[in-house]
Amino acid sequence: MGKEGKGNFQLKTPKGTRDWSGTDVVLREQIFTTITNVFKRHGGVTIDTPVFELKETLTGKYGEDSKLIYDLADQGGEITSLRYDLTVPFARFCAQNAVQNIKRYHIAKVYRRDQPAMTKGRMREFYQCDFDIAGQFDPMLPDAEILRIVKEVFEELPEWKGKFTIKINHRKILDGIFQICGVPEDKIRTISSAVDKLDKSPWEEVRREMVEDKGLDPEVADKIWTYAQLKGGKDVVEKLQAMPEVVANESAKQGLENMAMLCDYLEIFDVMPSLSVDMSLARGLDYYTGVIYEVVTEGSAPSAAAKDVAKKEKKQKKSTDPDEDRSNDPTIGVGSVAAGGRYDELVGMFSGKPIPCVGISFGVDRIFSITKARLGTAQAIRPTEVDVFIMAFGGGKDFTGMLPERMAVAKQLWDAGIKAEYLWKTKPKLQNQFKAAENGKVPWAIILGDDELKAGKIKIKEMGLPDGHPEKDGVMVEKANLVEEIKARLSGKASLPDRTAA
């Protein structure tokens, strides 16, 4: 972040926020478009809610993390806060409008006063990209649709196909297992949170937390571990269904029936190869009531190095400046890249009338960072979409610059919907015009010359052709046919050989 000040004025964005520009924003828009196309393919409609909500709307929804909520100043009138996620505003929207059913997507920024870690993509302002289904339907059908959406998104994002795993579990199975192991009812949520750390910490550490910090009987902890290690495909469900103590528990039995049905549906949808049924997945948030899932990828799952740092952080916790983030190491995994689950009670917290919901949230900023790294420098992203740069050829003291002529050609192209630019100089040098076209990676040039124009001709030149190419110097076309000639080239139907992709 550049900091140039005038006097003692700070020229920067607020902590934990950043500007997006250049090819970064082009790539991010491509990611949004890919995801939005999948959402629309499944009948998604978008809604837009305010960036701030009444504070009481957010109160009591996020547990401990409520301390991360940004409040607006009390300037008279209502007390409001910036949204922390898109799920609670969605639930408020459903309750307020007595929505019966909706498939809604929402791509927007959310706000958390957390310790930023720029290199890991952890920011105070970041995008979420959510798809949720609200309504009463036959079991597991919306859940299957969400997981199919997850598969389509990651198969269609550049450099993600075959590089992601959807970890899945079910709160009812988990709760059942905790009951079977003998976890006291009032400790289920906190023990569940401990289990959820198994992707970041070794069992010994999680066990210590359960026993020492949370006062769990060591035998109960060890019993949990026998189940928590189970992971695989539908076989995990079948294995658990074959255990008499498990199916004797009503919650586990129901959850497993759900999961078996879901696996059958996901078989039809060809999602099973990407799925890992994982008994160590628990998810932090309180409001989940059914299936829970998160998507991990190479480089997103925390590494051994991350575990070390996490340990160190824990030890140093009390002595450290809270304004400094010690895990600001780009080699460390960024956690899950998408996560969600079923939450049947949240809307009821607002209206008293629960509406079953299931959804997914894509962490677009994390997806962006990983995609960018995978694309590497090989990827030449065009900074603009301009297809044609209009130039004047000439020099010497008789050179007029042909400004009105260039403007007239620009108008003609714009009228035809063609993206075109020209240099805002009355007498531009030819090399500066070429430089501008090259900087913008513009694929085509139109070159006006006095003599040619008098003869009703205009030159079209493909940029970036190698030396020796027969059309390196461009081809002359009739001025009267200019728009058609350009359109044919842009659609790849011209007599010119197809230009190689920029």
- CB neighbour list of residue 129: distance below 8 Å, 6 or more residues apart: 32, 35, 105, 106, 107, 361, 362, 363, 364
Contact between 502 and a second copy by CB under 8 A: the answer reads no
Cβ-based nearer residue to a second copy, 152 or 462: 152
Cβ-based nearer residue to a second copy, 1 or 304: 1
- 113 annotated to a ligand binding site: no
**C-alpha to C-alpha distances, 298 to 49, 85, 272, 376, 453, nearest whole angstrom:** 34, 26, 19, 16, 58
CB 348 to a second copy: min, Å: 9
CB 259 to a second copy: min, Å: 17
Contact between 3 and a second copy by CB under 8 A: the answer reads yes
Contact between 145 and a second copy by CB under 8 A: the answer reads yes
Q: Determine the interface stretch with a second copy among 88-96, 237-245, 275-283, 480-488 (rule: CB under 8 A).
A: 88-96
Residue type at position 146: I
Cβ-based nearer residue to a second copy, 75 or 319: 75
Helix ranges, 317-429 (H): 346-351, 364-375, 403-415
Contact between 18 and a second copy by CB under 8 A: the answer reads yes
Contact between 439 and a second copy by CB under 8 A: the answer reads no
Q: Which of 32, 70, 393, 399 binds a second copy (CB under 8 A)?
A: 70
Site for a second copy in 158-217 (CB under 8 A): none
> Which segments of 135-246 are extended strands (E)?
164-170, 231-232
Please give the backbone phi and psi of residue 235, each rounded to the nearest 5 degrees, phi first. -55, -30
Token readout for 269 is 């949808």
Contact between 231 and a second copy by CB under 8 A: the answer reads no
Contact between 60 and a second copy by CB under 8 A: the answer reads no
Token readout for 3 is 């900091």
Q: Which of 85, 199, 294, 421 binds a second copy (CB under 8 A)?
A: 421
Contact between 270 and a second copy by CB under 8 A: the answer reads yes
Site for a second copy in 248-267 (CB under 8 A): 265
CA angle 363, 266, 233 (to 5 degrees): 85
Distance of CA 179 to the CA centre of its chain: 36
Please give the backbone phi and psi of residue 372, each rounded to the nearest 5 degrees, phi first. -60, -45
Contact between 350 and a second copy by CB under 8 A: the answer reads yes
- 374 annotated to a ligand binding site: no
- 287 annotated to a ligand binding site: yes
- 283 annotated to a ligand binding site: yes
Contact between 20 and a second copy by CB under 8 A: the answer reads yes
Contact between 498 and a second copy by CB under 8 A: the answer reads no
**What is the x/- site pattern for a second copy, positions 307-346, by CB under 8 A?**
----------------x-----------------------
Contact between 51 and a second copy by CB under 8 A: the answer reads yes
Site for a second copy in 106-125 (CB under 8 A): 109, 111, 113, 125
Please give the backbone phi and psi of residue 291, each rounded to the nearest 5 degrees, phi first. -60, 145
Rounded Cα–Cα distance for residues 465 and 28 (Å): 29
Q: Which of 33, 63, 141, 478 binds a second copy (CB under 8 A)?
A: 141
> Which segments of 225-353 are extended strands (E)?
231-232, 275-278, 291-297, 338-342
Rounded Cα–Cα distance for residues 410 and 428 (Å): 16
Cβ-based nearer residue to a second copy, 166 or 206: 166
Cβ-based nearer residue to a second copy, 142 or 394: 142
**C-alpha to C-alpha distances, 261 to 55, 240, 268, 349, nearest whole angstrom:** 40, 15, 11, 29
- 344 annotated to a ligand binding site: no
CB 47 to a second copy: min, Å: 4
Site for a second copy in 150-169 (CB under 8 A): 152
Q: Which of 35, 44, 153, 178 binds a second copy (CB under 8 A)?
A: 44
Cβ-based nearer residue to a second copy, 95 or 447: 95
Token readout for 326 is 């010690």
CB crowding 152-180: b at 16 or more within 10 Å, else e: bbbeebeebeeebbbbbbbbbbbbbbbbb
- 207 annotated to a ligand binding site: no
Rounded Cα–Cα distance for residues 213 and 206 (Å): 10
Residue type at position 26: V
Binding-site residues: 85-87, 112, 128, 132, 283, 287-288
